[in-house]
Amino acid sequence: QAPNIRLQREIKMVKKTYMSQIKKTGKITDNFVCAPDPENMLQWYFVIFGLDGPYEGGFYLGVLTCPASFPKNAPNIKMLVDNGIFMKNEEICMSMTSMHPESWNPAWTVHQILVGLVSFWYQDELTSGAIYYKDHG
């Protein structure tokens, strides 16, 4: 595969972001870490952590897969472990994913997409790929 210059730049930006957070606060404050597969920079693995409430103490592994045409086209995201909000191994429907090409913005970075994903953990809105709970109160 031809090197994706944009993703090569993003790898450097993510490292710089994490180092800056650690320098300022002594820890990563984004509630996730991400890095590309060493063999395939189109595939980024991430771990979400440090969440509150029912997710407290959990570590949630997922994968963000960019198309070869990234950033022209949006990536898709799947959670690889049970997590209480998204179905395991099902594509997650967000405006920042391939399920909504009409709302994709090529300026969005992998890091920004994952910030958006983390915010979904606390929203009441349900989306395709989410686990639906019925409250029997």
Helix boundaries (H) for the chain: 5-25, 110-120
Buried/exposed 33-50: b ≥16 CB within 10 Å, e otherwise: ebebeeeebbebebbbbb
| CB distance 28 to 18 below 8 Å | yes
Active-site amino acid positions: 93
Tokens 């595969």 belong to residue = 1
| CA angle, residues 103, 79, 108, in degrees to nearest 5 | 30
| CB distance 75 to 92 below 8 Å | no
Closest CA to 84 of 51, 45, 111, 113: 51
CA distance 137 to 19: 45
Q: Which pair of structure tokens corresponds to residue 136?
A: 């029997």
Per-residue tens of pLDDT for the chain, all 137 residues: 556 899 999 999 999 999 999 999 999 999 999 999 999 999 999 999 999 888 889 999 999 999 999 999 999 999 999 988 888 999 998 889 999 999 999 999 999 999 999 988 776 555 544 544 434 33
At 123 the pLDDT is 67
Can you give the pTM of this predicted structure?
Answer: 0.86
At 124 the pLDDT is 59
| CB distance 117 to 92 below 8 Å | yes
